Structures are given as C-alpha cells and as structure tokens.
Amino acid sequence: MPPEAGAAASRAPFGERLAAARAAKGSLCVGIDPHPALLGAWGLDDSPSGLERFSLAVLDAVGPVAAAVKPQVALYERHGARGLAVLEALLAHAAEAGVLTIADAKRGDIGSTMQAYAEAWLGEGRPLAADAVTLNPYLGFESLRPAIDLAAATGRGVFVLALTSNPEGRSVQHVGGDASVARSIAHAAAAENAGSAPGHVGLVVGATIGDAAQRLGLGLASLNGPILAPGVGAQGAGPEELGAAFGDALPFVLPTSSRAILAAGPAPGNLRAAAERTRDELA
C-alpha cells in the first residue's frame, strides 16, 4: 500500500473528526481573513511576510478554542505564489496542532478540471490539502463528484454552497419556490450522507438568511452532515438569527465569525478572549 493510502486509511472520517472537535471545543469556526485593512490595523505590511505573521498568530491564538479555522483562499491568492506558500504553511501548522481546517476556495468545474481541484484541496500529500473545502455546485451538483468521492476516500469533507445571504444569490438559489435550486442541492447532499453518522458532505448556509431555508423546504435537519454558517458577528448574526435561520437543524450548525474576532488582535490573549466570548454567546 502506498504511504498516502495508508495515511488516508488511518484517518477517521471528517464528520467524526468534526463532531469530536465540537464536543471538545464548542461549535465556533474562526475565519482567517487577512484583508489589507486588517493587516494594516495590526501594524503589518500587506505582503507575504505580513500575511504569514497574521495567519500563524490567529491560528496559535484561536486554535485551542475553535472547532475549526477557515482561511479565505482568495486573500492568499492575491499575493501569488508566495501567498499560496503562506497558506500551505498555515495548513501544515494547523495539522501539526490538531486544528481542523476548511479551505474557503469555492471551487467548482467539470471533468478533469474538477478532478484537479479535488486533488489540490483534498488529495493525500498535496501541499494545499485541508480537512475540508468549500465547493460551488452551480455547474450541477453531480459535477462535484470527483471532490465528493476523493473527500470520502481520504477522510476529508466538503461544504457545498446552498443558500447564501448575499442579495445576488436569490436570483439563482431561490428559483423554483418549493422546488428551488437550493432545495435540490440540500437534498442531493443529504442523499450523499445517507447511512453515514455523520456524513462528510456539508452545506454552506448563511447565518443571516432569516426563514428562507424553511420557506424553500431545504430540510436541513435531515442533512446528516455539518452546516457551515458564515455571517456571525460583523455581518450581524447572533443567537437569535441562528435560531431563526436553522430551527431544528441548529445542532448541526458550525457558525463562522472572522472580522469581529480578528479585530481584537494582534495581542494573542485578546484574540483568544474574543473567540471564547463569541463561542460562549452562541452556545
């Protein structure tokens, strides 16, 4: 057996590892979003060096109190190869520290191109491999098959965009009413997780969507997988908004906050305190 196959075989499924992390540290996911303005507020240059100092400082501060961290891939890509090298280092350090990572890459394509994306973000031994990656299903849910299958084979996970809170998303995701595009994605993800406990195919559903998931019949409580919910903190979502958006599915939700926590830096103690406060408020 190749070493890569052995490593994958020894790794517990992503759903189980995420459930264990949530049981140990709570349900908060912290976004690592090195926006230029935030780097400046920390007294760092908008450069690969500043990016690295920021990223590793956030990981060290919040890793012990967050179920997962979610680096925003675009903010590393803007620095080219050196920025991606920082992302590789961040993912490696997180793995060494036992902190789950969700690469917020929103990849989606067809055929061999999707296979290549899958190998990049989920393949065993790949420098950018994270514990999970976000995917864009709007070339058809089945176009994501290479990533869904590779994630299962390597003990990793995927989070598929389903119902986002940006106004533009409604023009696609809400179309069809009771037979909406978002509903079809949610039901397809649930089918992938059937028989697993819990499954490795999650959804991305915005924390500020109000009652849209209920109105559109997504059936999130039947997903049998995790729900990544961006929008906590600076975007306005708190416990009340999460309850309204997810109802009976709330136990499966991984609420995500970034700016509201990252603005507390650069002092590590302040960052950790902000993460703990957010986690405890959402519990």
pLDDT in tens, 110-163: 999 999 999 999 999 999 999 999 999 999 999 999 999 999 999 999 999 999
Dihedral in degrees, nearest 10, Cα atoms 80, 82, 83, 89:
150
What's the pLDDT tens digit per position in 181-200? 999 999 999 999 998 789 99
> Do 252 and 220 form a contact (C-beta atoms < 8 A)?
yes
Side chain identity at residue 94, one-letter code: A
Mean pLDDT across the chain = 94
Q: Which fold would CATH assign to domain 3-282?
A: TIM Barrel (3.20.20)
Q: What is the pLDDT of residue 195?
A: 86
Task: Decide if pLDDT at 5 tops 60.
Answer: no
pLDDT confidence bin for 234, thresholds 50/70/90:
low
Sequence-separated (6 or more) residues with CB below 8 Å from residue 243: 250
How far is 145 from 152, CA to CA, in rounded Å? 11
- Rounded CA-CA distance 127/215 in Å is 41
pLDDT at 6: 53
pLDDT for the residue numbered 9: 60
Phi and psi of 223, rounded to 5°? Answer: -65, -35
Give the bridge partners for 103, in sequence order: 133
How high is the pLDDT of residue 1?
36
Residues, the chain, total?
283
pLDDT (0 to 100) of residue 3 = 43
Pairing of strands 100-107, 132-135: parallel
**Span 74-119, pLDDT tens digits:** 999 999 999 999 999 999 999 999 999 999 999 999 999 999 999 9
Burial-class residue 118 by CB neighbours within 10 Å (0-12, 13-18, 19+): buried
Mean pLDDT of 212-222: 94
Q: What are the residue numbers of the active site?
A: 106
Give the C-alpha distances (Å, rounded to integers) separating 26 from 10, 211, 221, 230. 25, 25, 19, 16
Kindly indicate the confidence band of residue 10, based on its pLDDT and cuts at 50, 70 and 90: confident
pLDDT value of position 232: 87
